Amino acid sequence: MTGTEAYFEMGGHGAYIWPAYGLVFAVLMGLFVASRRFAGRAGREFDALNPRTRRTQEETDEA
């Protein structure tokens, strides 16, 4: 067994350690992406409804 293989083997407990770290990464990354999407969607909806930003957008479109 090479050094790298032994490292990933983690003394026979790699099957518990790596899924634990993988899950933490996946859940925290998923929450981050979902939060960014939620904030982006809410921001776009607000810009579309807000008379001030809508007017600016229409003026830009006309130009």
Residues forming contacts to other proteins in the complex (CB under 8 A) are 10-11, 13-14, 16-17, 19-21, 23-24, 27-28, 31-32, 35-36, 38-43, 45-46, 49-50
CB of 55 to other proteins, least distance (A): 14
Core vs surface per residue 15-46: b (16+ CB within 10 A) or e: eeeeeeeeeeeeeeeeeeeeeeeeeeeeeeee
For other proteins, which is the closer residue by CB, 10 or 63? 10
C-alpha–C-alpha distance, residues 32 and 63, integer Å: 37
CB of 57 to other proteins, least distance (A): 15
